[in-house]
Amino acid sequence: MIQPSKSNSLAGPATTHRLARSIGPILALVMLVTLCWCGYQRLWSVRAWNTPPQYAGDALWGMASTKIMADGEVWPLLSKTPASLGAPFGANWNDYPSTEEGLTTIWALLVRVFGLHLGTNLVLLLGHLLIAVAFYFTCGCFSYSRLFSIVGAFLFAFSHYAFFRGLSHLGLTFYWHIPLGILVAYWCFESPPSWRNRSRLVFCLLVAVLFGGQNPYYSGMFLQFLVLSALLAGLRRRSLRPIWLPFLLCLVVLATFIVMNLDTFYFQYIHGKNPTAVTRRYGELELYALKPIELLLPRWHSITALADWSRLTYYNQAWFLGEAGAPYLGVIAILTGAWLALTVFKTVAFMGKERLPLHPWALLWLLAYSVVGGLGGVFGLTGFILLRSGNRYSIFILAILLLYLVRQLDRWTQSWPPIPRVTLAASLLTLGFFDQVPPFGWYQNPASITRAVSEDKAVASRLQAELPHNAMVFQLPTLDFPEAPLAGTLGPYDLFRPYLQSHGLRFSYGSGKGRPREWWQREVAQLGPADLLESLERYGFSAVLIHRNGYADGGTALQEGFAQNGRAEVLSKTTDYLALRLNPISPAEVPPDFASGWYYLEGGSAQNLRWSSGEAVIIFTNTASLPRSVNLRFALGTLRSRHVRVSFGKSILFEGEIGNGSETVQIEDKIVLSPGENRLIFWTDKPAELPGNGDERQLAFSLLNFKVSRQLQL
């Protein structure tokens, strides 16, 4: 049999004996990756291991979701309503897709055993080790030499992309299965496994499950490779037989994806879709598309002059950067690309007898799909915009180039003596590590991480000491979750920080945006200090925590407003936080839920209103075991005359005509809330309509100065 590394084919099957002989090199590879990674991260002390590698941005979101699972508040594949966040209801995390729950589970297990920070460092190291081992295994299946397979595996594990993604995008950092997917796609094209070759067939199915249960960007490209393999194999053999396996693997990927997101699908089936949970626009396909020049230019580099030149000539002048800096391939991969291009040119120009390898065809497809205005943009015209960041496919480009590098080095140096081969390998390892890995602390100053963690621990400890177990803490400013606009210098997920260092407290931040139930936080905050304090204490909050970075004055005006209303006791004051004590009322109430048919609250404490879009519902929840009475007071208004009915259960609180313009109807009544949910229903005889003043909303009637009195137990 012709060895694939000596032939023109991309790969061939590896023998069990060859893989068994790889155990020693794999152990050496694991040790090499571990030592280099620990050296880069400066993890030579217990204190260093107990400091997170990142403590800002999406890394905080990832640690929060992991802590929730480690604490047993949510379980994989099940409904996600953690009680520690989104107080007083508990957070709703069911609207946002969570395909990577397998990875989160592994991370949570490490956190449960080793603690949040040590477990986080360990899972990040695990990602790099898996990348290296999977690439090495793939090279073994392609029958490449062990020496240069180690080189390729090391370079793939220490890609610039991996450190750019890091903890902030851990699901993207765990790209270890990409070489396995390339291997399976090749098999589907070149030599599809049959039912008789069960070991290879099972391997292909397992890889399909891996892709279906991890980041959807990688799943999407794997599906494309499978479809292309099926089409090309079918055309080459003029038969439908080669299509069955890629088709089966596509079904497995999709089925796994559906299983991983069943909780989201079920929740949206019961409660309706939430269009604002994940917002994507066509322009983002262009903003986050792959710009090929970024494959060549590092935004951060150990050679400061090179990074400065790249920023000066490109990054500081480009109009649409997106996720700039991630795609950089590194010098070795760039030279490999040039080597491959030269090979293609020679083969085509001189009509060489050798068949072109499959590498350039795969690269052409990746570029055609992911670049600005490419096939990804064409697919976006159909409305499929969820996978908007084409620049993330640069890691597939790197994988293919490094596989080609290992193949060519194996062929090129086969007649060399051992010492020159080892010298070349060591030189590539050294150059690749120095070139591909960004400077330590490029994303976040390690000293700032230590300071932030220390401050968070201090404020969390103080709150835990001063407040009862399971006390609720309201956080200001109020921010949507996830992907909210920034407030001041507050990071996008900085409101998670106190939660990460606490135990036995419930925080208001962190429930998924878009559902009317979560509007109350923003709306009570806009009513001013007096109404805000009255509402928070009625809802059972024991403290208000001001994130001072969210305000230009550091929260001074808020503190003065609370002091003027009798809430001046400071529980904790640090550079980032100001915590004030509240006096919660018992039994606590639950904010009314403007469940359907309403727009956001307008106005302030003195005068406010809320427009309806037609028939509407307000839900009152009585968490007690006995009925409670509620005093309601509000007015109804409308732009044009219409009939309105307000009912509660079998009782009609109001029914009649509401006049035009400034005419309103005052309503005041008492209703009795049974334990559980109770619905106040508003009905009108006419559909909503445009007001004619440039407002694009369809409006029916308005609810003015809606007020709920103290709920009394009967």
Predicted confidence at residue 461, as pLDDT, reads 96
Query: Residue 441, by phi and psi: left (phi above 0), alpha (psi -120 to 50) or beta?
Result: left
Question: Cα(156)–Cα(150) distance, rounded to whole angstroms?
Answer: 10
Confidence of residue 50 (pLDDT cuts 50, 70, 90): very high
Tokens, residue 279:
């917002």
Which of 2-11, 271-280, 476-485: highest mean pLDDT? 476-485
Would the pLDDT of 530 be above 70? yes
Predicted confidence at residue 663, as pLDDT, reads 67
Predicted confidence at residue 39, as pLDDT, reads 95
* Mean pLDDT, range 332-338, rounded to an integer: 97
Would the pLDDT of 279 be above 80? no
Inter-residue contact 622 to 673 (CB < 8 Å): yes
Predicted confidence at residue 665, as pLDDT, reads 84
Predicted confidence at residue 407, as pLDDT, reads 95
Q: pLDDT > 90: what percent of the chain?
A: 68
> Which uninterrupted H or E stretch holds 436?
helix 418-436
- Cis peptide before 516, with omega less than 30 degrees from 0? no
Neighbours of 608 (CB within 10 A): 18
Predicted confidence at residue 259, as pLDDT, reads 93
**Strand, coil or helix: 661:** coil
Predicted confidence at residue 61, as pLDDT, reads 95
Predicted confidence at residue 606, as pLDDT, reads 82
What DSSP designation does 405 have?
A: H
Would the pLDDT of 608 be above 60? yes
Q: Select the more confidently predicted residue: 663 or 23.
A: 23
28-32, 61-65, 484-488, 697-701: lowest mean pLDDT where? Answer: 484-488
Would the pLDDT of 12 be above 50? no
Longest dimension (CA), the chain: 97
Question: Cα(566)–Cα(561) distance, rounded to whole angstroms?
Answer: 9
What DSSP designation does 548 have?
A: G
CA angle 284, 285, 289 (to 5 degrees): 110
Tokens, residue 703:
């609810």
What type of residue sits at position 628?
R
Would the pLDDT of 170 be above 50? yes
* Mean pLDDT, range 181-197, rounded to an integer: 83
Question: Cα(578)–Cα(134) distance, rounded to whole angstroms?
Answer: 48
Tokens, residue 187:
């098999």
What DSSP designation does 644 have?
A: E
Confidence of residue 106 (pLDDT cuts 50, 70, 90): very high
Question: Cα(110)–Cα(122) distance, rounded to whole angstroms?
Answer: 7
> Which uninterrupted H or E stretch holds 23?
helix 23-41
16-20, 121-125, 130-134: lowest mean pLDDT where? Answer: 16-20
* Mean pLDDT, range 250-260, rounded to an integer: 95
* Mean pLDDT, range 105-126, rounded to an integer: 97
Question: Cα(508)–Cα(474) distance, rounded to whole angstroms?
Answer: 5
2-16, 247-261, 501-515, 618-632: lowest mean pLDDT where? Answer: 2-16
Predicted confidence at residue 351, as pLDDT, reads 66
Phi/psi of residue 343, nearest 5 degrees: -60, -45
Would the pLDDT of 118 be above 90? yes
Predicted confidence at residue 628, as pLDDT, reads 87
Would the pLDDT of 186 be above 90? yes
pTM of the model: 0.91
Would the pLDDT of 630 be above 90? no
Place of tokens 């090279």: 139
Would the pLDDT of 314 be above 70? yes
Residue 313 CB-density burial (10 A; 0-12 exposed, 13-18 middle, 19+ buried): exposed
10-14, 70-74, 147-151, 691-695: lowest mean pLDDT where? Answer: 10-14
Would the pLDDT of 449 be above 70? yes
Predicted confidence at residue 709, as pLDDT, reads 80
CA angle 391, 392, 398 (to 5 degrees): 100
Q: How many residues does the chain have?
A: 714
* Mean pLDDT, range 604-626, rounded to an integer: 91
Inter-residue contact 92 to 517 (CB < 8 Å): yes
Confidence of residue 662 (pLDDT cuts 50, 70, 90): low
Predicted confidence at residue 625, as pLDDT, reads 86
3-17, 274-288, 326-340: lowest mean pLDDT where? Answer: 3-17
Would the pLDDT of 70 be above 90? yes
Cα 488 to its chain centre, rounded Å, is 23
CA angle 118, 503, 525 (to 5 degrees): 115
Predicted confidence at residue 214, as pLDDT, reads 92
Would the pLDDT of 647 be above 60? yes
Predicted confidence at residue 8, as pLDDT, reads 39
Cα 35 to its chain centre, rounded Å, is 29
Tokens, residue 523:
């709306």
* Mean pLDDT, range 53-81, rounded to an integer: 94
Computed over every residue of the chain, the mean pLDDT equals 90
Question: Cα(486)–Cα(159) distance, rounded to whole angstroms?
Answer: 30
